Amino acid sequence: MKPAELHYWILAWFSMVLCCWCTSDKFTQSDIRPHPWHKLYFAHHWPVTVCKMSANDCHDPPMYWTIHGLWPDRAEDCNRTWHFNVTEIKDLILDMRHYWPDVLHSSQNRTQFWKHEWDKHGTCAATLEVLNSQKKYFGKALELYQHIDLNGRLLKAGIKPSSSYYKMTAIKEALTGFYGVTPKIQCLPPEEGEKAQTIGQIEICFTRELELVNCMEPEGESNPIQAHFKFGTSELSVCNDSLPTYYPSELQDHK
């Protein structure tokens, strides 16, 4: 090969490599999207209310608060190449089915709910060393669930499922007294003909160091986690302090 031909061949090869590298980089950047976050929202939902919100295969919901998710603020879907693998949490399955069940679908073999939580939130939480694997992420959430003991705290305050109504301020004050921080509580608004909102979700928040912190943002700041969560045709939103609050004990309309 003549020197001139060799020169052009090297330039062509270099250009091709550079082009491939750029294309690969674009692919990586579109699938891996690290976002800085500052707070974890640990969400518990009340299965009876969840079932009321949806017409899915929801039978005999648990009569205790279950895990909805562990969510970093300001971040979602951070790594679409890090796929959920149920075998990585095989040692946690029994606890997952009990404390983090797919309330809307009764099959014990469904893992779609956990996959969704990992894809959307776990891949972002994994920037912390203590959450940087699927086993660590789900395992730490189960550990926090036991530590928070929301079910026990509510019972100790005399707050339990009932046909009577509660004052939202009383629920907030009880939880703030236990945890020393302000939780975020979400309800179903009253439907036509109803006078009470229905409690559906309670979120307890943690710093990146996994220390308790207020969930609600200071006045004037926006909350990076959406205030509304939708199942089927119904929607949860931050509870109204002035409305009576229903804590349902069974699946039925409460007028």
Distance CA 10, CA 188 (A): 66
Q: What share of the chain is helix, strand, coil (3-state, %, to 5)?
A: 40, 20, 40
Active site residue 83: no
Are 238 and 186 a contacting pair, CB within 8 Å? yes
Handedness of CA 70, 72, 73, 78 (dihedral sign): negative
* Cβ(91)–Cβ(46) below 8 Å: no
Rounded CA-CA distance 131/125 in Å is 6
Q: Which is catalytic among the residues 44, 45, 76, 117?
A: 117
Q: Which of 45, 68, 76, 203 is catalytic?
A: 68
Whether 117 is catalytic: yes
Query: Tokens 């996959």 label which residue?
Result: 115
Give the integer Cα–Cα distance in Å for 51 and 30: 36
The active-site residue, picked from 44, 45, 76, 121, is 121
Q: What are phi and psi of 178, to 5 degrees?
A: -70, -50
3-state secondary structure string across 228-254: CEEECCEEEEECCCCCEEECCCCCCCC
Q: Which residues contact 228 (CB under 8 A, 6 or more apart)?
A: 235, 236, 237
Q: The tokens 């949490």 sit on which residue?
A: 89
Whether residue 98 lies in the annotated active site? no
Q: Hey, which residues are catalytic here?
A: 68, 117, 121
